[in-house]
Structure 1
Amino acid sequence: MNLGLKFIKVLIFSTNVMFTFGDNSWICTAKADSIASSSAFTNLEKRFKALEMQMKQFQRLSQMNGINTYTTIDGFPKECEEIYENGTRTDGMYMISPDGRCPFLVYCDMKNGGWTVIQRRVDGRISFYRPWREYVTGFGDIDGSFWLGLEKIHRLTRDGSRIYFDMENYDGSRDYAHYNVFTVHEAATAYRMNVDAFGYRGSIKELLSYHDNQRFSTYDRDNDDSSSNCCKDLDGGGWWYKACYKLGNFNGVYGKREMGGVGYYTGVDVQIRNVEIKVKAMHGVC
Structure 2
Amino acid sequence: MEFLIPFLLFSFVISKSPVCATNVRLSPFKGLVCNQCQQWCANDTTESKQVRGLDDFVAHTKDGTVGSTKPEGIIDMTLIEQIIDNKIKEALQMRTCDGAKFESASSRNGSGGVVVDSYIPAVGFRSVRCDVTDDGENWTVFQRRINGDLDFDRGWADYVRGFGDLHGNFWLGLEAMYQLTKSGNIELKISMITKDVADYWIAKYSNFQIGPGSDKYKLTVSGFSGNATFDGLAYHNNRPFTTKDADHDHYSRNCASRHEGAWWHHDCANANLNGNFNKEGGRGMWWYDGSYRLLVYSEMKFRRRL
Counterpart for residue 67 of structure 1: none
Asked if 1 retains the 8 angstrom alpha-carbon contact of 2:139 and 2:302, the reply is yes
Equivalent positions of 1:83-122 (< 5 A) are: 83=100, 86-90=101-105, 91-97=113-119, 102-111=124-133, 113-122=137-146
The 2-side partners of 1:100 and 1:82 are apart by 23
Change (3 A) 1:207 1:73: same
Asked if 2 retains the 8 angstrom alpha-carbon contact of 1:245 and 1:264, the reply is no
Pairing 1:146–2:170 present: yes
Asked if 2 retains the 8 angstrom alpha-carbon contact of 1:192 and 1:215, the reply is yes
Counterpart for residue 201 of structure 2: 175
For residue 62 of structure 1, report the CA deviation from its aligned partner. 6.5
**Any idea what SS the aligned residue of 2:281 has?**
coil
The 1-side partners of 2:166 and 2:9 are apart by 23
The 1-side partners of 2:251 and 2:202 are apart by 27
**Any idea what SS the aligned residue of 1:272 has?**
strand
Could you list the runs of 5+ residues in structure 2 that have no partner in the other structure? Answer: 17-60, 65-88, 106-112
Counterpart for residue 90 of structure 2: 73
The 2-side partners of 1:229 and 1:5 are apart by 47
The 1-side partners of 2:163 and 2:4 are apart by 35
- The one-letter code sitting in structure 2 at the alignment partner of 1:172 is A
Residue of 5, 10, 13 corresponding to 1:11 = 13
- The one-letter code sitting in structure 1 at the alignment partner of 2:130 is C
For residue 102 of structure 1, report the CA deviation from its aligned partner. 3.1
Counterpart for residue 281 of structure 2: 258
Q: Which moved more, 1:153-162 or 1:93-102?
A: 93-102
Counterpart for residue 126 of structure 1: 150
For residue 209 of structure 1, report the CA deviation from its aligned partner. 1.4
The 1-side partners of 2:63 and 2:207 are apart by 34
Asked if 2 retains the 8 angstrom alpha-carbon contact of 1:211 and 1:245, the reply is yes
For residue 200 of structure 1, report the CA deviation from its aligned partner. 2.9
Change (3 A) 1:98 1:89: farther
Asked if 2 retains the 8 angstrom alpha-carbon contact of 1:182 and 1:196, the reply is yes
Pairing 1:200–2:225 present: yes
Pairing 1:162–2:163 present: no
Q: Which runs of 4+ in 1 moved over 4 A?
A: 2-7, 98-101
Asked if 2 retains the 8 angstrom alpha-carbon contact of 1:121 and 1:146, the reply is yes
Pairing 1:239–2:263 present: yes
**Any idea what SS the aligned residue of 1:12 has?**
helix
Higher relative contact order (CA closer than 8 Å, sequence separation 6+): 1
Asked if 2 retains the 8 angstrom alpha-carbon contact of 1:80 and 1:96, the reply is no
Aligned length: 224
For residue 11 of structure 1, report the CA deviation from its aligned partner. 2.5
Change (3 A) 1:99 1:201: farther
**Any idea what SS the aligned residue of 1:191 has?**
coil
Residue of 231, 234, 249 corresponding to 1:209 = 234
Change (3 A) 1:228 1:104: same
For residue 227 of structure 1, report the CA deviation from its aligned partner. 1.2
Asked if 1 retains the 8 angstrom alpha-carbon contact of 2:116 and 2:129, the reply is yes
- The one-letter code sitting in structure 2 at the alignment partner of 1:183 is Q
Could you list the runs of 5+ residues in structure 1 that have no partner in the other structure? Answer: 18-58, 64-71
For residue 202 of structure 1, report the CA deviation from its aligned partner. 3.4
Change (3 A) 1:5 1:153: closer
Identical aligned residues as a percent = 28
TM-score, normalised with respect to structure 1: 0.70
**Any idea what SS the aligned residue of 1:278 has?**
strand
The 1-side partners of 2:278 and 2:169 are apart by 13
For residue 205 of structure 1, report the CA deviation from its aligned partner. 1.7
The 2-side partners of 1:164 and 1:226 are apart by 27
TM-score, normalised with respect to structure 2: 0.66
Asked if 2 retains the 8 angstrom alpha-carbon contact of 1:115 and 1:278, the reply is yes
Report the aligned-residue RMSD: 2.8
